[in-house]
Structure 1
Amino acid sequence: MTVRLRTLLSVPLISLLAACANAPSNTLGELPRTPQASIQQLLEKAGNSTSEEANMLRLSAADLAYKQHNLTQAKQILASLQLQQLKPVPQVYAGTLSAEIALTENQPKQALQALQQPGFERIAELPVEQQIRTSLVKARALEADQQQLPAAKERIYIAPMLKDPQQIADNHEAIWGLVAALPAEQLQAIPGNTELNGWLALVSLTRTNASLDQQIAAIDAWRAQNPNHPAALQLPKALAALRTTEQQPLNRIALLLPQQGQLANVSKALQDGFMASLYESQQEGTSPPAVIFYDSTQMRSLDDFYQRAKSDGIQLVIGPLEKSLVKQLNDREQLPITTLALNYSDTQDEGPAQLYQFGLAAEDEAREAALRAKKDGKHTAVALVPRGDWGDRVLAAFSREWQAQGGALLGAERIDQPVEIARQISRLLQNRQNGQSIDLIFLAATPQQARQINPTLAYQYAGNIPVYATSHLYTGTSNPAQDQDLNGIQFCETPWLLEPNNPIRRKVVAQWPQAASSFGRLYAMGADAYMLSSRLPQLKALPNTELEGLSGELSLSSTQRVTRKLPWAQFINGQVQPLTQPTPL
């Protein structure tokens, strides 16, 4: 049976409902059969003939070679065919097979190119099984080529044709995965595409700071408004999982922090920010969980702590802060209680399913600098970072993201002694003398170092090169007299320090004035830790969700690390001025 659905590129959705047509005519050709023969027997029977029957035998042989994972032989057989001389049906078959092979070899652009033969213009007239096979490989190729929206459209178009229950379910989940990964600017409704718009609206419901019960209520309202939409008839698994989470309210939290030693002041700021956010939530009418405090410096072992926490009825652990303890947790296969560590392990390896990690990672800021510079149209960069392990990690994060965005890193210097900075900058700028232009300087430095670096750049006639920096050059307090030497530098910073009118921030600063300085970043992290305590199931079920926190825009990576996107600011006349987001190129 042949279904006249659409051209491969696009047709109105109503054409998906077209009636069945007759079997392919002789002008279209036929699909290769699946004879009970070996590849060698098929090729021997085809011989040197160029007849249509011989070509069909070769196509059968190529498909058999592909299914046996003999890609080299499959490609050799396809290369022997004159595709332009084939009728539309075998031509589409050959192009689809070539695309499948290219995808197996991780060549999505080559796969998409293989789907451009003239015969694809008549795909709507082809047998339904071939339309499904072709459209599914095209959807996979588009997704592999980072074209999520076209891939989602392709899967939505093919959905009414599917009959196999497992294939239907897999396609349904794939559509959700594609639309859920779309950036915010691609979630706008598309005129005339009702079904796709329903998917986009559903995704938008998950991109808010709404609480779990609010989010579930919004999803239920969407289903009531769109009763016949595929996602209303069968919620994606990730959304269905939210109901299970709703039925398990969070009542008791452990705050595991060092109350003595070198980290005591840090943990005090985190704790105060956490409790301030809890009290603010309570004033808004919610019933916050009970919080029990544990001193990580006094516990004998993590096993003893978890045993005690379980006996205390703890459902979630916030902490520890010590990096060595986080590493121990990350090395375990599983944890007895879900845990949000307030630091990151050094390894990028995936930890136990019950472990989440959250901190003020400088690597997040380095990646943000690379993304910002790319959106600003920059192409070549040099870097100045502190000498030591911290600087190496920041530089590595910037370099990886910058090169992933297509940028070139021309050189880097590790700054250490103040007397050496001028010489190091001079050496870094030699790239210009060698004929290589420098579009930007990436800077990770203390306020004292940055105040020396910027005037040195001007002295060496490089003051016109934009500087993109991490937050570490900002003291957190306004000091125009000293910060004149930072003029022009762009840097990313927490919303806590850029938005002084935030209600929680105002209350915290009124009680603890040090929260208005760079120390405020820790209060912001503590406040966000409380917000995350009730949102971890949502972030896990909906990994593309972004929460507007006080330490940044928060999301969850595939390794369950909370990552931050930060707003940007610039020093102008010694004062910090927020910057708007650049327009994507």
Structure 2
Amino acid sequence: MRLKLVGLLIILSGLSACSTTEKPIKKSDNFSSSANALKNQATNAQSIYQLAVNREGADKIQLLYSARDSAISEKNWPLLERIGSDLELTASVDQTQNRLYIAYAQKQQNKNDQSLIILQSLDGQLTQPEHFAWHQFLTASIYASQNFPKKAAPYFFRASETSTKNNIDIPQLDQQLWDNLKQLSSYALERFNRGSVIQQGWVNLALYHQVYAGSGVELDQAINNWRRRYVGHPAGAVLPKQDENFVELAPLNIDRLVLLFPQSGPNERLGDALKAGALAALDKQNINEAIFIDENLSTADIAAKLDQINPDFVVGPLLKANIDKLTAAETLINIPTLHLNTFDGDTISLQHYYFALNPEHEVEQALEHFLAMGYQKPMLLAPENTNGQRLVDFFNQQWQRYSETKPQIGFYENNQDMPKTISSLLEVDQSKERIKTIKALFKQEVESETRSRSDIDVIYILGDAIETRLIKPYLDVNVSTFSERIPLYASSKSHSKQIDSTDKGDLDGLYFTELPWMLNSQITQHNLREQYNLLWPEQADISQRLFAMAYDAVLVINDIRQLSLMPGNKFSGLSGKLSVNSNGHLQRVLDWAQYTNRQIKSVQLKTQRPVPLFMQSASGVKTIN
């Protein structure tokens, strides 16, 4: 929860003021003067806290309260948590309120598991509406911060209902609730369209904004109807600002489009693939003028051309170095732009978006499937290079959010190193050594068969198409016949239309993620694929993927603002199902396919958002050991 200093003071002071059960501290002239005198000696929360530690009785409590207020204003969350723990030892303190303070301090430190445990421990003790409203709000904020909008929604609704009914002021509640609803799909919203009038009012307002997002007139009519139906509803507080934002949701009117692609140098071939995809998409767009500019020109030359053209939108550049260059010079700062790569710096404009064929999207999609299937011990095989290490690190980082087990990792330096890596990871080499020892003890022939380790329950290959075709047979040979077959998965790097056209190899049973464009059975635009194959029958895989990327980039720009303000919405394209996150980066969900009988078959695999460990422990869900 990001709050300005004033907002934080209001929120936490509101929590203090809401208590009606805290026993008042008996004041006397001596008490007031001594406590105030001590407080005046301190300069910050820490020094006030040190004074409190050395005092007793009422003076100590009052100093702890003062230290608590100062810790909030200074955003000193560890100290706020410590003060709450000290106050917990004092019988005269409202412990429900105090534990809400502790939970809040922990949440601000990203100790979400501990904060949830405290909040859940307060169930049944929330007799005061103020306590209940804040409890629900804090719980909802934690779930929302972890990107679980459906889980957060009921808590937000209850906080809104209670605060409205009892006239309790919770700053940021309305805005956070509204931001959370914007993460939900229309289907999810419909399922929440029940219960109290407050809840239905919020849901219907969100549905109106989704249904009529592209029509300003219809949206205005719907909101006017909403106002008449839900007089005095708390959602009215978000309407003025949101109405202004949603005016911008109407499809962009793009009359003049600039496409910044590499048209010279070593990446000219990639630029040609992008240009072909863009031209194919322009046939479906109502854009009067499209101008291609070489992104490898100097910044000054690009700026001069843009000044002359005055475009409504820019697609590109592709190369990260050129994105960095134009960002540093602020060449595109006033032009809506969809860059065709990731960007690691600070975005300089809310009109800038980033679209990359990012392999991390596939890794995350595979991980979510593994967890949905209940796999507990994955093994990853990756080349020992920068890209392989990056993807393994990403998988590890994400996996540790959801599981206490550690994946088995195998890096191979080259093709010759693969058998040794696989044999070692599966502990087949140890089995062979045991067989060799046993045979040495007996003179007669001993029947034997190697055994692989049985705890590995899924294998994920992060190699390219050639490497995958070498790895798969090694896995088939080294997995023990006494064990069940281990499911094998790979990324789109494992799939090559060029190689598959002549040799699919021994890949039977392998699952992989892939762009819909690369899976002919998943493409609804069959004519487009047929035309492409006629024009470029020998195109490299990277060129085909860039064609799909540019095609989607040109088609998605009309609706990109709507996607950015409604993250639950998706655009179905040749490169996958696209959505826009809060940082303006396009996320992709790819299709699943499987090699079956030397053919590729599209499949539907179970995938769902996993539950983080801190939620598992707080909810009593059994974690993996």
- Flag whether TM exceeds 0.5 (same fold): yes
Change (3 A) 1:532 1:499: same
Match runs of 1:232-271 below 5 Å: 234-235=238-239, 237-238=241-242, 240-244=244-248, 246=250, 249-271=253-275
The answer to whether the 8 A contact 2:261-2:294 is kept is: yes
The secondary structure found in structure 1 opposite 2:99 is helix
What TM-score, normalized by structure 2, do the two folds share?
0.73
The secondary structure found in structure 2 opposite 1:120 is coil
Q: Provide the identity percentage.
A: 23
Moved more, 98-107 or 568-577: 98-107
Aligned-partner Cα distance in 1 for 2:209–2:596? 37
Residue 241 of structure 1 and its aligned partner are, at CA, apart by 1.1
Measured against aligned partners, the alpha-carbon deviations of 1:498-543 in whole angstroms (never above 9, x if no partner) come to 3546454522532553479734322211111112322332233334
User: Which one of the candidate residues 522, 528, 540 is aligned to 2:546?
Assistant: 522
Match runs of 1:109-508 below 5 Å: 109-115=113-119, 116-117=121-122, 120-124=125-129, 133=134, 135-141=136-142, 143=144, 147-161=151-165, 170-182=172-184, 186-190=188-192, 191-200=194-203, 202-203=205-206, 213-214=214-215, 216=216, 219-220=219-220, 222-223=222-223, 226-227=226-227, 228-229=229-230, 230=233, 231=235, 234-235=238-239, 237-238=241-242, 240-244=244-248, 246=250, 249-281=253-285, 287-297=286-296, 299=297, 301-331=298-328, 335-345=333-343, 348-353=344-349, 354-406=351-403, 408-430=405-427, 437-461=455-479, 464-476=485-497, 479=500, 482-483=503-504, 485-498=506-519, 500=521, 502-504=523-525, 506-508=527-529
Aligned-partner Cα distance in 2 for 1:34–1:360? 66
Aligned-partner Cα distance in 1 for 2:386–2:494? 18
Q: Which runs of 5+ in 1 are unaligned?
A: 1-22, 49-53, 282-286
Aligned-partner Cα distance in 2 for 1:530–1:34? 70
Measured against aligned partners, the alpha-carbon deviations of 1:254-275 in whole angstroms (never above 9, x if no partner) come to 0111234433332222222222
The secondary structure found in structure 2 opposite 1:421 is helix
Change (3 A) 1:553 1:330: farther
Aligned-partner Cα distance in 2 for 1:493–1:383? 18
What TM-score, normalized by structure 1, do the two folds share?
0.77
The secondary structure found in structure 2 opposite 1:291 is strand
Residue 94 of structure 1 and its aligned partner are, at CA, apart by 3.3
Aligned-partner Cα distance in 1 for 2:69–2:220? 44
Alignment length (residue pairs): 530
Residue 551 of structure 1 and its aligned partner are, at CA, apart by 0.5
Counterpart check, 1:569 vs 2:593: yes
The secondary structure found in structure 2 opposite 1:400 is helix
The answer to whether the 8 A contact 2:53-2:60 is kept is: no
Change (3 A) 1:188 1:253: same
Change (3 A) 1:401 1:237: farther
Q: Which runs of 5+ in 2 are unaligned?
A: 1-17, 40-50, 72-78, 431-451, 611-625
Aligned-partner Cα distance in 2 for 1:493–1:351? 29
Specify the code of the residue in structure 1 equivalent to 2:519: L
Change (3 A) 1:143 1:529: closer
Aligned-partner Cα distance in 2 for 1:569–1:278? 30
Aligned-partner Cα distance in 2 for 1:308–1:563? 31
Aligned-partner Cα distance in 1 for 2:372–2:145? 23
The secondary structure found in structure 1 opposite 2:460 is strand
Aligned-partner Cα distance in 2 for 1:196–1:47? 47
Counterpart check, 1:65 vs 2:67: yes
Aligned-partner Cα distance in 1 for 2:21–2:392? 59
The answer to whether the 8 A contact 1:496-1:505 is kept is: no
Measured against aligned partners, the alpha-carbon deviations of 1:105-164 in whole angstroms (never above 9, x if no partner) come to 44344444445458734224xxx6x66555544544554575422332233224415869
The answer to whether the 8 A contact 1:162-1:168 is kept is: no
The answer to whether the 8 A contact 2:84-2:102 is kept is: yes
Specify the code of the residue in structure 1 equivalent to 2:591: P
Change (3 A) 1:441 1:33: same
Measured against aligned partners, the alpha-carbon deviations of 1:267-290 in whole angstroms (never above 9, x if no partner) come to 222222222222124xxxxx3352
The answer to whether the 8 A contact 1:467-1:490 is kept is: yes
Change (3 A) 1:132 1:118: closer
